[in-house]
Amino acid sequence: MSHLSPNFASAFAAAFRANTMSLSYNEVPLFRALQRSIVGTPGFHAEEYHGGAHQVRFSGSAPYLRPGPRCELSDLMIVVYSPRSRRVRLTYLQAKSERLTTGSVCGHRFSANLEQWFLLSTRPTINGVGSFAPPADLLSGALLPSVGTFAFFFKDPAGHFEIYYAAASFLAPAGTYGQRYGTLAASGPCHSRFSNGFQECLAACGSFAFAEALHRMEIGTPIDPTMAPSAGNVRLWLVSNLRAAQSTSDRRGLAEELSRLLMPEVPQADHPAAGHFGARSVLVLRTEYPGD
């Protein structure tokens, strides 16, 4: 265990509390506070990019799916990498605000768009809408289910906002639901597990636990060449978009270092239009956590 991880988690929890102190349950400001708290907390070096709103089409069979369902992947794409271990993890995280005050979220039912939950939990092959052209296996080829995740905001008994994080596959529809919308409940208590050769956090109760798992690279699916050699299409697509995004931004260092780690042979000029990540915002995070 790295001594840096608890320090980062404590600092993040304090920053998230401070950044949300005056906020209501409005989802967008809470989501932005989450981003600010990650970017502004020592322990990560961070770069933030605009991702744009892009939808995907997919197939599935469930009573809450429309014919030919389509939706955005998530609010936030997070890519965490360690130059020491040369490991890279990627997750699509959807943030939701819950009008809830509780000391424990165990057993609570969280409101969500069930089409988006289906997309992130079952991870079908996808097709981009319009100019968005992600790899068809962006989700379906992932080694770990935490390629698709949720973060629910709620209040603790003291009135402070907290975070319940869970892999989408760790949640399941609960109770009644209408088309597209309903509630989700966790399939078990918060925990991490060793799965498919990797440590993975399936659920974290609270901002401290979420930050600790993120810092330890236990959130997201591996996409680096060593641990995920089959993710070549994802690496090419991500690097191309990162380099395109850099061309319109003065934030370059981390994204370029990540690009060289993922696929150094991709020419600088070989990229599509910037911002086609499938999430509204993108965080590139560099951690010094050594990993395995």
Burial class (CB in 10 A: 0-12, 13-18, 19+), 129: middle
Supply the pTM of this predicted model.
0.92
pLDDT digits (tens, 9 = 90+) for 38-83: 998 887 889 998 887 789 999 998 888 988 899 999 999 999 999 9
- Is 50 exceeded by the pLDDT of residue 92? yes
Query: Shortest CA distance to 77 belongs to which of 287, 282, 284?
Result: 282
Q: Note the pLDDT of residue 4.
A: 54
- Is 90 exceeded by the pLDDT of residue 271? no
pLDDT digits (tens, 9 = 90+) for 136-172: 999 999 999 999 999 999 999 999 999 999 999 999 9
Domain boundaries, the chain: 4-287
Percent with pLDDT over 70 in the chain: 90
Mean pLDDT of 216-232: 95
- How far apart CA 113 and CA 95 sit, in angstroms, is 11
At residue 3 the predicted structure's pLDDT band, cuts being 50, 70 and 90, is very low
Q: What is the mean pLDDT of the chain?
A: 89
Q: Note the pLDDT of residue 100.
A: 86
Provide the token pair at 127. 């097709």
Q: Which of 21-25, 29-33, 250-254 has the lowest mean pLDDT?
A: 250-254
Q: Are 286 and 44 in contact (CB under 8 A)?
A: yes
